[in-house]
Structure 1
């Protein structure tokens, strides 16, 4: 975790969360309460148009702060402009269309024999088309409220959304919990403290590999070979990939690589069970009922099944390093490429270790990426560029081209059919239809 410079007390800050009525939010609030020494808050504002959810989440948030002795004030509001006014950092965790839109993203691509998933493939494109215009509108209002505010994007698809924010000139960094989750998992297996491990984490959001797991820093001893030799079976089971895949590659792919490495198996599996959206919707009902209990003063155990594990630790660490003076520290974030991966455009957004400080995120130098991974990264990055163009300018042809370019699709008949379904299921969110 970042620390304030010696002899200097961190200045208290105001942080706003857009999508503050999310069932994720108590995880984030718990992090701000636990880690208040690294980022003191005078005010945490939860912003959400769903007043009923906001009331339940806000009530639990206040009880969490009180139980842990945090003196900061928690404010809830449906007024975006009021909520972001004077905020030093704004976290984005919104879902345009809610779980019902996610349910559709996860189902209609299966009709065409393609993975149904909310962050990649056709479903991921649908989410990007719904989300990018909304996020850019929010970001402009944040800029008017405080031009120096940092925007931390946790809204999927993080790579595309962060690319849109950076292209529009916003002070933005994208965040995902995959790297910190693997760091925590590896640390437990190796019986070391998580902060002792540095991951050579490289790729794009939801398309990454761990090439090394170094003890003590970027130049420390690489423990990955020993980790795979001793615990490869357990890691493979978590990723739901054969152990032989990890042994042959000698790296640990993120679990999202299963959509690429075992596409047909995943499609067959998804066709035979309820969608993840349906599971999450049911879980959210249970969580909101728990949040309404005035005796509850901590995040419930059920929240761990909701997803977003360790999100709070990653978010607080990032906000702290962006908002406090000092040399900063190294964290895995989504950041402008700027030549780090020379085969990608400078304005592509990559997910890599970066040094975080008051001036933003600077990627650490990265060793050349093996062609086995570089080819897929280049292909998906090209898709993301086309997806952003479709989100910004609209049009059926742009949607079709993005789908055709995606390596999970890549056939014109499938791209045509998916284009029709995407537009039909998202017409109310697409201004150009």
Structure 2
């Protein structure tokens, strides 16, 4: 990238409610990341939101000291030409697809969640083919660009880009590590710079350890503090406490999403209560989104509103801005990213994607070695990675048997006829966004498979 002409950034899924936070992060870092132009890209179904948030983004820049132009387009290829950085934050099927991912498993008494269990696998089935199309466009139109992904499931999407897209200039991001490093120092009465962090695992399935600036392991001290105060969870995860004895035994802190695995019974109970009363998380987010976009319409609003913190992905965008600035200015900032393992986690192959602490600079990620995990966590990690690889393979090939293998191996999907019913109904429900499974879906429909949950069935 030529630093003399300034930086061109393209955001795919630009009509997202998170975009104002992305703009805030770029404005804050302009002196080290001199942006020339930003292109926000969306699809026809997202045109109205793109126009609303695009106007909001331009007001944010106009209120800053910097002259940056926001371009809006529904033509991805027009935007990608000569881009330096491409960020991806899209949701195939929009929020209605997430409602289906959550409600259909819930109907059968299983966990319905955006990135975990049955719903997470179907989000990957929809997202992986689209990200691979984006990569093919990038190879032609901006072959030197970096792809910074936070489209979920971020780890699987990043793995697909590297494994099947053959594109190594990519990093996946998540807000969960960011929130941990913001919350935990406060619980100890310290600042972030007073602690040293090491993360390892998979996206939404990692653990971390903490040391003080003298190198002393203080993980158990942090565990004690978290049990006394704020657990630092995103808004989309219900706060069921971990078992303290378990955390002390492993001497690591699991990410918030581990509650779905370590406390499945309680998380399922809470999820089903929401399903039967106020609606699933996706239904709640639709209301939050509507409120945010009403705020964004205000011609006098030129800064990120506080209500954005209600979204479960708060701080995703800020992590993306720091990653981009670190690559551009070769800052070697320590950031938690999904990237190729390269030996950082010896319990997994070197060529697969892991989520780890890394130093980010002009050459990408230099991973911090974590070392072998304890017995229980090693077993979990290897099982989950095999499930991810099967899910990605199914997303690419459209093979029903591979999808079934992924389902059966997922610990949040109890194997048997009910799991098959859930999978088949999700195929039919998402027919519009699963062209690679067209033959399978036609067969299922011919066999009379229909969606049983009334809300999910009525969504386009």
Question: Do they fold alike, i.e. is TM over 0.5?
Answer: yes
- Counterpart in 2 of 1:282? 287
Matches within 5 A, 1:174-193: 174-193=172-191
Deviations 1:264-290 (A, max 9, x none): 222221111111111111111111111
CA distance in 1, matches of 2:240, 2:266: 11
- Structure 2 partner of 1:263: 264
The Cα of 1:406 is off from its aligned counterpart by 0.9
Shift of the alpha carbon at 1:197? 3.1
Between 1:250-259 and 1:87-96, the stretch displaced more is 250-259
Q: TM-score, normalised by structure 1?
A: 0.92
Quote the residue 2:54 is aligned against. Answer: 58
Which residue, 144, 151, 166 being the options, matches 2:147?
151
TM-superposed deviation, 1:20: 0.5
The verdict on how the C-alpha distance between 1:424 and 1:240 changes in structure 2, with shifts beyond 3 A counting, is same
In the alignment, is residue 37 of structure 1 matched against residue 2 of structure 2? no
CA contact (8 A) 2:220 2:248 kept: no
Show the counterpart of 1:3.
none
Classify 1:332/1:243 alpha carbon distance in 2 versus 1 (closer, same or farther; 3 Å): same
Deviation at 1:308?
A: 1.9
CA displacement at 1:305 relative to structure 2? 0.3
1:385 equivalent to 2:395? Answer no
Aligned partners of 2:146 and 2:121: how far apart in 1?
A: 26
Aligned-pair CA distance for 1:188: 2.3
Per-residue Cα deviation, 1:126-167 (whole angstroms, up to 9, x for no partner): 100011001110121122111010001100011111011011
2:375 maps to: 371
Task: Please say if residues 98 and 114 of structure 2, whose CA atoms lie closer than 8 Å, have aligned partners that are also in contact.
Answer: yes
Q: What is the CA distance between 1:231 and its match in structure 2?
A: 4.1
* Residue aligning to 1:199: 197
Range moving further from structure 2, 183-192 or 119-128: 183-192
Structure 2 residue 307 is the aligned partner of structure 1 residue 305 = no
1:99 paired to 2:100: no
Q: Quote the offset at 1:235 in angstroms.
A: 4.3
Aligned position for 2:355: 351
Contact 1:10 1:39 in 2 (8 A): no
Write out aligned runs for 1:128-143 (5 A).
128-143=124-139
Give 1:351 shift.
0.4
* 2:336 match: 332
- Structure 2 gaps of 5+ residues are 234-238, 439-460
Higher mean displacement: 69-78 or 40-49: 69-78
Tell me the SS of whatever aligns to 2:229.
helix
2:72 is equivalent to residue 76 of structure 1 = yes
Q: Does 1:111 align with 2:111?
A: no
**TM-score when normalising by structure 2:** 0.87
Task: Kindly indicate whether the alpha-carbon contact (under 8 Å) linking 1:10 and 1:40 is maintained by their aligned counterparts in 2.
Answer: no
Q: Does 1:319 align with 2:317?
A: no
Displacement after TM superposition at 1:40 (Å): 1.7
Q: Structure 1: any 5+ residue segments left out of the alignment? A: 1-8
Q: Answer yes or no: is the 8 Å Cα contact 1:233–1:243 preserved in 2.
A: no
- Mapped contact 1:334–1:349 kept (Cα < 8 A): yes
Checking the alignment, whether the CA contact within 8 Å between 2:187 and 2:225 is kept in structure 1 is no
Cα separation, 1, equivalents of 2:96 and 2:197: 36
Who is 1:127 aligned against?
123
Structure 1 counterpart of 2:166, from 140, 147, 169: 169
Number of aligned residue pairs:
421
Q: Check the 8 A contact 1:99/1:277 in 2, yes or no.
A: yes
Q: Over aligned residues, Cα RMSD in angstroms?
A: 1.9
In the TM superposition, residue 11 of structure 1 has moved relative to its aligned partner by: 7.0
Change (3 A) 1:414 1:347: farther
Give 1:195 shift.
Answer: 4.2
Answer whether contact 1:109 1:123 (CA < 8 A) is retained. yes
Rounded Cα–Cα distance in structure 1 between residues aligned with 2:313 and 2:5 = 28
CA distance, structure 2, for counterparts of residue 25 and residue 388 of structure 1: 27
Name segments (4+ residues, structure 1) moved above 4 Å.
235-239
| SS of the residue 1:424 aligns to | helix
CA distance in 2, matches of 1:141, 1:88: 14
The residue aligned with 1:223 is 218
Q: Is the 8 A contact 2:323 2:335 kept in 1?
A: yes
Which range moved further: 284-293 or 195-204?
195-204
Tell me which moved more, 173-182 or 355-364.
355-364
Contact 2:336 2:355 in 1 (8 A): yes
CA 1:198–1:143: 2 relative to 1, 3 Å: farther
